[in-house]
Amino acid sequence: MHDVDVIVIGAGAAGIAAARRLVLTTRLSVRLLEARDRVGGRAWTLDAAGFPLDLGCGWLHSAEHNEWSAIAQELGFEIDPTPPPWSRRAHEAGFPLAEQDDFAAAWSRFQARVAEAGRAAADRPASELLEPGGRWNPLLDALSSYINGVELDRLSVADFVNYRDSGINWRVVSGYGRLIEAYARGLDVTLNCPVTRIDHSGGMIRVITPRGVVKTRAVILAIPPTVIASEAVRFVPALPQKLAAAHALPLGLADKVFLRVDDPRDLPTAARLFGATDRVATGSYHLRPFGRPLIEGYFGGRLAEELEHAGESGFAAFAIDQIAKQLGADIRKRLHPLAASAWRRDPFAGGSYSYAKVGHSDARGALAAAVDGRLFFAGEACSRHDFSTAHGAYRTGVQAADDAARALSAYSGELGTGSPTRICAT
């Protein structure tokens, strides 16, 4: 492993964005070291039964401002602008329209209380803002588990109100994971290369892996905070503040299951069905995404933890029971499990997306802060306003790359911050 100017650790959305940015704007030599046998990290499109299934990120959130939308256009990926199921009325099975209106009003009132509480100096868990005994509290909690990966009792109000979203959501027809993978094409990536130690005690930084040691002038660390917190990657000398920030930013859990549906014509296209509306532990089912004969189930928080423990078939069995309860038992024989995720059990992720522990929303800045002008940090958890997303990861990667280039006196400033354009034909 020959020495290079910059080592980027982790080839997820953030690491790929950082490496691409450096290649586009500087003459520095750059190498990505990736623990897995694939790039993309929590962006992962799996092909099953001829369908591209996004087991990680699936939606281009804030799509009209999202750099991945521009990259998709530039690389020739088709985008589907159909509004997401959660922005429209849900399937009426088990959820009559009058109840949906009542729930929507409860959600708006809750959002208003969260916004108000977010202006206060003291942070608190969002569960304190539920209406005591509110009919819709369990479903509000379930929504939080999908959006944040945790229920409201673990959700920091101060962190949540920092999140910015335009409300526009699109999808990449052949997969968000495929798009991010395509953006890595031509970069110098070493797969199956888990970094175990970063020795920054000397003039050159030594990056230690089971495949050898690389010396470099700067490191961009673009791995999930869980990996830093577990000390699977160690710093020499130790960085206790970085460790504390990573501990304050765990990953919540969201998992998906995909079912194929025989003869799906009786199901509406791109509609949402709730498995139940009276409990927290329920899946949300996206019927026929892209019009395909599929159902995409989504589970969050403690329910997802439980179902991961149940093993491979846990998600599908739970989903089929819930769907059959709402749409009739006959549908059982038409549903066939295709794939499910288990992000908590994934050793290189350890969860789905970050949340700040209550009282620790400032940990995002601490995690992102550079050390000694040569260790730089990126990844969705480092983003103050776009955390938990693939475009947030992208932006932190670009920022870290520009900071590293400046520190190495190699910054050309040729591209405006955040611009994904002028992708090299690699």
| 9 lines the binding site for ligand FAD (CB under 6 A) | yes
Which lies closer to ligand FAD via its Cβ, residue 326 or residue 352?
352
Strands (E), 204-345: 205-209, 212-221, 234-236, 251-252, 254-261, 271-274, 284-287, 294-300, 335-340
CB atoms within 10 A of CB 407: 17
Question: What x-and-dash track marks residues 59-88 binding ligand FAD by CB under 6 A?
Answer: x-x---------------------------
* Residue that has been written with the tokens 């940990």 in this structure: 363
| 389 lines the binding site for ligand FAD (CB under 6 A) | yes
Is residue 61 classed as helix, strand or coil in its secondary structure?
A: coil
| 348 lines the binding site for ligand FAD (CB under 6 A) | yes
Which lies closer to ligand FAD via its Cβ, residue 14 or residue 205?
14
| 315 lines the binding site for ligand FAD (CB under 6 A) | no
| 45 lines the binding site for ligand FAD (CB under 6 A) | no
| 56 lines the binding site for ligand FAD (CB under 6 A) | yes
Residue with the CB atom nearest ligand FAD in the bound state: 12
Q: Are 322 and 93 in contact, with CB atoms under 8 Å apart?
A: no
Encoded tokens for 263 = 């003869």
Which lies closer to ligand FAD via its Cβ, residue 7 or residue 152?
7
| 283 lines the binding site for ligand FAD (CB under 6 A) | no
Is residue 21 classed as helix, strand or coil in its secondary structure?
A: helix
| 341 lines the binding site for ligand FAD (CB under 6 A) | yes
Q: Residues 406, 412, 414, 420: what is their CA dihedral angle, to the nearest 10 degrees?
A: -50
The amino acid at 204: M
Question: What x-and-dash track marks residues 204-223 binding ligand FAD by CB under 6 A?
Answer: ------------------xx
Minimum distance, C-beta of residue 14 to ligand FAD, in the bound complex (Å):
3
| 35 lines the binding site for ligand FAD (CB under 6 A) | yes
For residue 62, CA distances in Å to 65, 129, 163 come to: 6, 26, 11
| 395 lines the binding site for ligand FAD (CB under 6 A) | no
| 301 lines the binding site for ligand FAD (CB under 6 A) | no
Q: Are 396 and 14 in contact, with CB atoms under 8 Å apart?
A: yes
| 26 lines the binding site for ligand FAD (CB under 6 A) | no
For residue 124, CA distances in Å to 72, 104, 156, 264, 353 come to: 39, 24, 6, 45, 20
Phi and psi angles of residue 21, each rounded to the nearest 5 degrees, phi first: -60, -45
Q: Judged by CB under 6 A, which stretch of 127-135, 138-146, 254-262, 280-288 contacts ligand FAD?
A: 254-262
Q: Judged by CB under 6 A, which stretch of 39-47, 94-102, 130-138, 140-148 contacts ligand FAD?
A: 39-47
- Which of 4, 28, 58, 245 binds ligand FAD (CB under 6 A)? It is 58
Sign of CA dihedral 345, 351, 357, 360: positive
| Rounded Cα distance, 381 and 387, in Å | 5
| Rounded Cα distance, 273 and 295, in Å | 10
Which lies closer to ligand FAD via its Cβ, residue 186 or residue 347?
347
- Residue 199: which H helix or E strand, with range? strand 197-199
| 32 lines the binding site for ligand FAD (CB under 6 A) | no
Binding region for ligand FAD (CB under 6 A): 9-15, 33-36, 41-43, 56-59, 61, 194-195, 222-224, 227, 232-233, 254-256, 341, 343, 348-349, 352-353, 379-380, 388-391, 393
